[in-house]
Amino acid sequence: MGLSAGCAEVSYPPDIDDAERERLVQTIKDWGIAHGLAVRPPPAVIASDADPQGILATNAPVTLFPSPFPKSSFEEAKAVQTAYNKLYADVSRDEAFLGQIVQEVSGDDFISQLWHVHQRVKAEGYVQKLSLGLFRSDYMVHQDSTDPTKAPQIKQVEFNTIASSFGGLSSKTCELHRFLASTEYPQLKQSNANHGYDLPENDSAKGLAAGIKAAHDAYGDSALGHQRCVLFLVQGGERNVFDQRHLEYALQSLSPGLLVFRLPFAEILQRTSIAQTDRRQLLYKSPTNPDKVFEVSVVYLRAGYGPGDYPTPADWDARYQIERSNAIKCPTVLTQLAGAKKVQQVLATPVTQSQPSELHRFVPDDSGASKQIRNTFTHIYPLDDSEAGQQARKLALDPKECLKYVLKPQREGGGNNYYKAKIPAHLNSVPEESWKSYILMELITPPPVANIILRNGSLEQGGVICELGIYGTCVWDQGTGDVVHNAEAGYLLRTKGDQSEEGGVAAGFGCMDSCTLV
């Protein structure tokens, strides 16, 4: 995929000649491997038998330069994060509200199955009151294309409550651009390369690890006298393993001696069990030392966010085993459900003229937090048979109107949405009863930015679209709502070619980037 060449008037990135470019690329390639800004090789390499021992790693795709990002928008997004953490903690505690959401998207089997896990555990009683959220609120800068003099506004794309990734690689990318700004950029012939970068600090790996540590510390000692450990539940064949490892290493440097085990989601029932006690401690048997049993304080899910991780009924039993245990879950099933796109729509959609939205259920309308949060909302509509839903259906099916929207099902992980002209065709291809499990969202249109992406050793230069993610960590009591820990935890900038609709780095469309504030 090449980038569009429509940004000739933008003097960024610096105009560099072939020799400078080659040198910069070589520096980035080496720095990336030396510092773990890397991923495992793609499936084609594995399939070709070129890596039978599983020892190869390759550069994660990155921009050669940090992308300019409006400082006011960046600061606004960071400032609202702790309010968002508290909001989503409270949403996850509101079982009646979530039950209503599940009802409203009842055509979605995956959401119904998650809800079923919650109901099974509720029937026997939850033993662990504390929950851990490692969240990421994603934004784009919206620039009114009809009035470029209007100030850019930060608008939320989505709020992630499960497997919010790239915190590990993001701090490394910021470090890379800082390194280049002090060593390589000043050497470029075009002196505009040295026009004063404003590169904000970013310790997302440490910030997320601090969230896990807060939960681990709050768990308390093992009443059974076992050594405690943290479990990372992962997907088999994960390419983005170094991103996860950076979190693990950051956690171990915050809590020296703390053991972290990586467990494929498919092996939960084989390697874990529930103690026969009232507390239902989660026990983990290490494959290398089967006689030794550990007590799991925190389970961090980097898997289980989509139907693909549950190919058999046993995989649902595995999720149930985790959920009913005493381990602190990141996330619980309820917290995962709180991240459903339907929740975001319900929080953002006005109910009546006088009542802005269901947000008031969680955050008082006249509070500063409510205003801050509402400022980040863009228009999102239901596709149900309510009046608002009927109107949205008309927009979605209209060949001209639909060009302003993206249609989203209740899915995570990228690659699931339908854009613009593809919306009517998709809706017409599925039964009308299932339309209510989608939401329709106005497209956010960022101002033009240009950059150069290094992906698989090749360069792509041209117009790019940047998506900012702000990480947040929260530990709360699911019963009382008491908050044990609530912090903003750094940022992610993901960038994609402006001709691409999806921006997931892992899905192969986007790349890692960092902000230079303007």
Measured between alpha carbons, how far is 226 from 296 in angstroms, rounded to an integer? 9
Nearer of residues 41 and 306 to Mg ion, judged by Cβ: 306
> What phi, psi does 4 have (nearest 5°)?
-70, 155
Name residue, tokens 């084609």.
44
Tell me the window of 82-90, 166-174, 209-217, 405-413 that interacts with ligand ADP (CB under 6 A).
405-413
Quote the least distance from Cβ 411 to Mg ion, whole Å.
8
Q: Which residues of 132-144 are buried (b: 16+ CB within 10 A; e: fewer)?
A: bbbbbbbbbbbbe
Nearest distance, CB of residue 264 and ligand ADP, angstroms: 22
Beta-bridge partner residues of 485: 475
Binding mask 468-507 for ligand ADP (x = CB under 6 A): ----------------------------------xx----
506 has binding-site annotation? yes
Cα–Cα distance for residue pair 421/436, rounded to 1 Å: 19
Beta bridge partners of 139: 156, 468
The binder of 417, among Mg ion, ligand ADP, none, by C-beta within 5 to 8 A per type, is ligand ADP
CB of 235 to Mg ion, least distance (A): 15
Binding flag, residue 414, ligand ADP (CB under 6 A): yes
Q: Is 458 exposed, middle or buried (0-12, 13-18, 19+ CB in 10 A)?
A: exposed
Question: Is position 341 annotated in a ligand binding site?
Answer: yes
User: Least distance to ligand ADP from the beta carbon of 60, Å?
Assistant: 17
Catalytic member of 160, 202, 325, 486: 160
User: Which tokens in the block code for residue 238?
Assistant: 């994960």
Query: Of residues 280, 324, 408, 455, which has the active-site annotation?
Result: 408
Annotated active-site residue in 204, 494, 503, 514:
494
Query: Closest separation between CB of residue 406 and ligand ADP, Å?
Result: 5
- From the list ligand ADP, Mg ion, none, which binds 503 (C-beta under 5 to 8 Å, kind-based)? ligand ADP
Q: Which residue has the tokens 């993001």?
A: 170
Asked whether residue 46 is marked as a ligand-binding residue, the answer is no
> Binding to ligand ADP by residue 417, rule CB under 6 A?
yes
3-state SS, residue 411: coil
User: What gap in Å lies between CA 445 and CA 23, rounded to an integer?
Assistant: 34
Q: Number of residues interacting with ligand ADP: please give it, by CB under 6 A.
A: 17
Catalytic-residue membership of 432 = no
333 is an interface residue for ligand ADP by CB under 6 A: no
CB 259 within 8 A of CB 251: no
Report the first-to-last Cα separation within the chain, whole angstroms.
28
The partner in contact with residue 441, picked from ligand ADP, Mg ion, none with C-beta cut-offs of 5 to 8 angstroms by kind, is ligand ADP
Q: In this structure, what token pair is assigned to residue 314?
A: 């046993």
Find the part of the chain contacting ligand ADP (CB under 6 A) among 121-129, 366-374, 392-400, 441-449.
441-449
CA distance linking residue 241 with residue 236, whole number of Å: 10
Shortest CA distance to 295 belongs to which of 223, 214, 245?
223
Nearest Cα neighbor of 28 from 454, 406, 410 is 454
- In whole angstroms, what is the distance from residue 181 CA to residue 338 CA? 40
Q: Closest separation between CB of residue 69 and Mg ion, Å?
A: 18
Among 315, 467, 488, 513, binds ligand ADP (CB under 6 A): 467
448 lies in the binding site for ligand ADP (CB under 6 A): no
Report the nearest approach of Mg ion to the CB of residue 419 (Å).
14
Catalytic, 155? Answer no
Nearest to 101 by CA among 436, 330, 447: 436
Listed residue (340, 212, 208, 322) closest to 265, CA to CA: 322
What span, in angstroms and rounded, lies between the C-alpha atoms of 443 and 449? 17
CA 56 to the chain's CA centroid: 26
Question: Which residues have a catalytic role annotated?
Answer: 136, 158, 160, 165, 341, 408, 412-413, 494
* Residues flagged as binding site for substrate: 136, 162-165, 238-240, 244, 302-305, 494, 505-506
Annotated binding site: 136, 158, 160, 162-165, 238-240, 244, 302-305, 341, 408-417, 419, 441-444, 467, 494, 496, 502, 505-506
**What residue ranges bind ligand ADP (CB under 6 A)?**
138, 140, 157-158, 406, 408, 412-414, 416-417, 441, 443-444, 467, 502-503
| Binding site listing for ATP | 158, 341, 408-417, 419, 441-444, 467, 496, 502
- Binding region for Mg(2+): 158, 160, 412
